[in-house]
Structure 1
Amino acid sequence: MYARLRTPPAGKAAAAPGGRGALATITPDTVRAAAAEVRTGRTVTLASPIETAPAPDNPHPAGHRLTSPPEAEAEGAGLHFATDHFGMDVHGDAQSHLDALCHVVYGGTLHGGIPATTVTADGASALSVELARDGIVGRGVLFDIPRLRGVPWLEPGDHVTADDLRAAEDAQRVRVGAGDILLVRVGHRRRRIETGPWDAARARAGLHPEAVEFLAERQVAVLGGDGNNDTAPSPTEGVDFPVHVLAIHALGIHLMDYLQFEDLAPLCEQEGRWSFLCVVAPLRLPAATGSPVNPIAIL
């Protein structure tokens, strides 16, 4: 069905051209309801550590250096400040990041039919990560697909289907609804820790594009994965990132790539619940196509 890329039935999930995309499904009422998910007050990061060393999946690692004080001055008398400089490729295959709605250009347009010419070398004048400047706060739901299948991780190239998502709902006794932040674990980070990095651009587990219909039906606000969310190799001829195209371009769903759920999943298992308050705070980068993020789950 997806041999050629086909936009899923959007229904109520479709956003008006431009606007905030699927973030519009997050309302004061959904935020208040999400706050009620907090029971134990435990907090856990969903971000991978920022890496500064090259690896097969990270050929352009983040750069970090201390800019002051010089070593000769550090032990001297008086006041000194230690300061840093960071630089990173936001849309890499190792660092946790949020994709803005201007990140995907398809057929010469962005989400909502906005012309691709709004993205230039000077930045994006529409649909930048600034749409999320006030933060993304909602009910997070974690689907642990390796747990569902009884394996430690999905092997590169494997797909998470819509049937997998529905089966995870049943097995974990939780239902995804409008305005939720859906997090799908494929075990990418655990595999990377235990077997070492590999070229994830060529081979990785992710969602099958047909699974995006589930996101549309349930009016998901944000999708996050511990991989790229897209499978490689792509199952869609001529389109390398069909999930990105369908979720971001067609439905206006912000994506979070390369998170890690190895701290969260055991807590969910221990507490016997897979929903929680989730807080995502991207940097204020007014013309950027994405941002590093450190999402926090609060149980």
Structure 2
Amino acid sequence: MADNNASGAGREVATSPYGIDDQIGRLNLMSPESRAAVISNIDGAQFFDLSVDYFIGMPSWQAIGDPSYQIWMTHTPHGNVVEGLPTVSREMTEYISYSGDAMMMYTHTGTHIDTLNHYGYNGRIYNNFTEHDHLASRGWQVSGADKMPPIVARGVLLDFAALRGVDMLPDRYGITAEDVDECLAHQGVDIQLGDVVLIRTGRMRDWPDAVKWGENPPGLTRPAAVHLVEKGAMIVGSDTMCVEQGPTTDPDNYTPVHTYLLAEAGAPLIEVLYLEDLAAAKVYEFGFFAACLRLRGATGSPLRPWVFPYRKQ
């Protein structure tokens, strides 16, 4: 078939230009020099936290069978007294007020990053690792969250809601490549090689209403995602649950942006970003800092991103 960026049909995973053992894709664009350049350009007087907090009842992917966020106490001060602690006297247990807890959730809950083993084509993921050879009973042996280095990069915010003069983009709005260029021109910024590009739709104004925030989200179309990568994006993130327009209009691929970015471009995604304060301050260029949990083989991980505005030139 002819190459058509609008369609996610008939695609294959890409071979990494960084070698047959590469498991981080475009994160290889970071270097000591690039990190030093970011740090030298930031204004440390102000920073923005782009994460959401975790709580029982928060929006999640439980509708398709994944566990909702749960947290429970494993120890309470009085409970320890009633039940007793091994080798600890009752008097000591009454004196020491010990609390502990445990949690359970899908790794794609809350603000998180998608790793390169999250999506692929025909049993393969980015750089031709296969389900047959690299997926064990407890998870992928390659390209998991444990392989991802801490992220220090230049970041760019594209505020599409402000571009259209609305609080939030309407349901199922598909952001096009032309929208990307219009937004860049409107804001007077550019995308450079190795950037983290963040997409604001305004959807976080409905957080944490699972229906209003989660259903029929606006987001990127495949051509827009291709355009961002061709301009230099290393990572793409958004304030929605899936970065891309949902449901997709592509009859041949139910997640064309995810499969393109992860399986073809080797570009991780960040989802459920809180971008409202950053947008209100009109901060469009910044230093982006984040690190995921080193969950061995995991297809995603909670992320705590924070940014510092770039100094005005």
1:269-288 mapped onto 2 (5 Å cutoff): 269=282, 273-288=283-298
Residue 156 of structure 1 is matched in structure 2 by 171
- Does residue 87 (structure 1) correspond to residue 104 (structure 2)? The answer is yes
CA 52–105 in structure 1, closer or farther in 2 if over 3 Å, else same: same
Displacement, 1:6? Answer: 6.6
Write out per-residue CA displacement over residues 75-97 of structure 1, whole angstroms, 9 at most, x where no aligned residue.
Answer: 975223322211111225xx111
Write out per-residue CA displacement over residues 185-222 of structure 1, whole angstroms, 9 at most, x where no aligned residue.
Answer: 111211345xx331766511110100122222122111
- Does residue 295 (structure 1) correspond to residue 308 (structure 2)? The answer is no
SS state of the match for residue 198, structure 1? Answer: helix
Write out per-residue CA displacement over residues 144-173 of structure 1, whole angstroms, 9 at most, x where no aligned residue.
Answer: 110011011112211111111111211111
Partner Cα distance (1:6, 1:214) in 2: 19
- Does residue 240 (structure 1) correspond to residue 241 (structure 2)? The answer is no
Candidates 203, 211, 226, aligned match of 2:216: 203
Gaps of 5+ in 1: none
Contact 1:37 1:139 in 2 (8 A): no
Residue 114 of structure 1 is matched in structure 2 by 129
Question: Which AA in structure 1 matches 2:107?
Answer: V
Residue 129 of structure 1 is matched in structure 2 by 145
Displacement, 1:277? Answer: 1.1
Partner Cα distance (1:207, 1:14) in 2: 25
Residue 239 of structure 2 is matched in structure 1 by 226
Contact 2:77 2:97 in 1 (8 A): no
Displacement, 1:15? Answer: 5.1
Which one has the largest radius of gyration?
2
SS state of the match for residue 52, structure 1? Answer: coil
Which deviates more from structure 2 when the two are superposed, residues 47-56 or residues 102-111?
Answer: 47-56
1:93-104 mapped onto 2 (5 Å cutoff): 95-104=110-119
Contact 1:22 1:219 in 2 (8 A): no
Candidates 195, 202, 206, aligned match of 1:187: 202
Number of aligned residue pairs: 287
- Does residue 265 (structure 1) correspond to residue 291 (structure 2)? The answer is no
Partner Cα distance (1:147, 1:221) in 2: 24
Candidates 2, 24, 30, aligned match of 2:28: 24
Contact 2:59 2:214 in 1 (8 A): no
CA 217–56 in structure 1, closer or farther in 2 if over 3 Å, else same: closer
Identity %: 24
Partner Cα distance (1:6, 1:32) in 2: 41
CA 58–130 in structure 1, closer or farther in 2 if over 3 Å, else same: same
Contact 2:60 2:69 in 1 (8 A): no
Displacement, 1:223? Answer: 0.9
Displacement, 1:69? Answer: 2.2
SS state of the match for residue 124, structure 2? Answer: coil
- Give the alignment's TM-score, normalised by structure 1: 0.87
Which deviates more from structure 2 when the two are superposed, residues 81-90 or residues 96-105?
Answer: 81-90
Partner Cα distance (1:6, 1:148) in 2: 34
Contact 1:103 1:289 in 2 (8 A): yes
Partner Cα distance (2:61, 2:101) in 1: 25
CA 113–85 in structure 1, closer or farther in 2 if over 3 Å, else same: same
Displacement, 1:7? Answer: 6.0
Question: Which AA in structure 1 matches 2:290?
Answer: V
- Give the alignment's TM-score, normalised by structure 2: 0.83
Please give the root-mean-square deviation of Cα atoms over the aligned residues, in Å. 2.6
- Does residue 250 (structure 1) correspond to residue 257 (structure 2)? The answer is no
